[in-house]
């Protein structure tokens, strides 16, 4: 199990979360958009399993949704 915590949701993160990749992937997003990504990733994790950790896959899915919502009109 991951030991890092998502700052907004306080959900544990899987060990597969690569912070360097996450920072690079969210470069150019506003702080509100980054918060949206982490919250959405938490919801995706909960939807898959009420005891799931936030994984890199959850974060990537949330990032794609956020980019589509805010940047690809």
Q: What is the pLDDT of residues 13-62, one digit of tens each?
A: 999 999 999 999 999 999 999 999 999 999 999 998 888 899 999 999 99
Higher-scoring residue by pLDDT: 73, 30: 30
Global model pTM greater than 0.85: no
Asked if the model's pLDDT at residue 73 lies above 60, the reply is no
d(CA 69, CA 53): 24
Closest CA to 8 of 49, 27, 36, 44: 36
Strands (E) located in 1-73: none
């Amino acid at each position: 199990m991951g030991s890092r915590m998502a700052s907004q949701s306080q959900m544990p993160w899987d060990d597969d979360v690569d912070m360097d990749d996450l920072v690079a992937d969210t470069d150019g997003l506003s702080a509100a958009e980054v918060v949206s990504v982490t919250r959405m990733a938490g919801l995706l994790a909960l939807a898959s399993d009420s005891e799931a950790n936030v994984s890199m896959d959850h974060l990537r899915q949330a990032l794609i949704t956020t980019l589509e919502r805010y940047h690809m009109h």
